[in-house]
Amino acid sequence: MSDEDLEIELPDVNEDIGLGDEDKGRIQSNKMDWYKGEKGRIDRIALVYFNNYETIQLRNALKEKPELTQDQQRAIIKKVRASIAGKLGKSVDQLEPVDLLDLREARFKPASAVYKEGLGYFAYPKGLTAAEEKVWAKVGDRKDYAITVVLWYPTDREGDVDRERLSKHWRVLPWRTTPEMYNTFKRMNKGLVADGSSISQVDLNLSCADTNFQKNTVTQAGSAIYLKNDNFKKMVLEKAYALYAKLTPFRVITTDELREKLGMPGSGGGSSNVDITDEDFTGVLGNV
């Protein structure tokens, strides 16, 4: 048999990777980075978590008429899309998700969690029964948080933007902060709205005093830089929008799963409020 007659099966040249620079980035973690301040550093950020106009209009309509049918709700959304498309000079099917975002108001997502040493954080479920609340109380006190998305600008440690790195080194990150920080933003926003602006239109400086406990002080840093350039704005909003469905910073488990982690009997067996007598067992065994 000649060399020409041999059947050669081509290998997959990309099946595995090495440790060199040519394979950099071929393996990626599913872990999502969250914004965290660094002690002694001032960061410049912008709040970039927004509702879309559809949600806002539908929410307002349902407040006035909770009995709206699904068809009536769809009609409201259809009208909103047509209005925005007209303003942007697009057809409705050309609209992108970021076209529908209302940039006038920064939004936050409330979340609650408990923490257990050695186990970490767990999302605190809604609608627990009294019996389930007793199980969750064994983990620790429930704490509340405000979740949002921020644009982080590359800066020096004093919070001044590094303009040479700005075009490539900005990041969009989810942020878990405290009710106290949320209330600070709320007060700031109230003052800005009174002056015809809002907190979503400005950048903010965050000065971190404690890395572990994330104690931050916030001040205004001037107009939002990313809003001054349409291309920059679009890139930021696209990355922000992609995070909106992922704002879950805590592990989600059921009460039964928590019982198991705590070494407690499950709700489906192993314990009962009904006493079983010897006669009961005798009757059962008699049928075996």
pTM above 0.85, yes or no: no
What residue type is assigned to position 280 of the chain?
A: D
Q: pLDDT at residue 9 above 70?
A: no
| Range in 111-120, 175-184, 216-225 the model is least confident about | 111-120
pLDDT grade, residue 21 (50/70/90)?
Answer: low
pLDDT grade, residue 116 (50/70/90)?
Answer: confident
Helix (H) or strand (E) holding 218: strand 215-223
How far apart CA 35 and CA 202 sit, in angstroms, is: 18
Query: Which pLDDT score is estimated for 2?
Result: 56
pLDDT grade, residue 210 (50/70/90)?
Answer: confident
Query: Which pLDDT score is estimated for 31?
Result: 66
**255-262 and 130-137 helices cross at what angle (nearest 10)?**
40
Q: pLDDT at residue 143 above 60?
A: yes
Instruction: List C-alpha distances in Å: 171 to 66, 84, 85, 232, 248.
Output: 40, 28, 29, 12, 19
What residue type is assigned to position 7 of the chain?
A: E
Q: What is the tens place of the pLDDT at every residue in 46-79?
A: 999 999 999 999 999 999 999 999 999 999 999 9
Q: pLDDT at residue 278 above 80?
A: no
**Domain 42-50+105-262, CATH homologous superfamily name and number:** Replication Fork Single-Stranded Dna Binding Protein (3.90.198.10)
Q: pLDDT at residue 287 above 60?
A: no
How far apart CA 154 and CA 164 sit, in angstroms, is: 9
Any idea where the domains of the chain sit in the sequence?
42-50+105-262, 52-102
How far apart CA 7 and CA 19 sit, in angstroms, is: 32
Reported as half-sphere exposure (CB side, CA atoms, 13 A), residue 275 has a value of: 3
- Average pLDDT (193-204) is 95
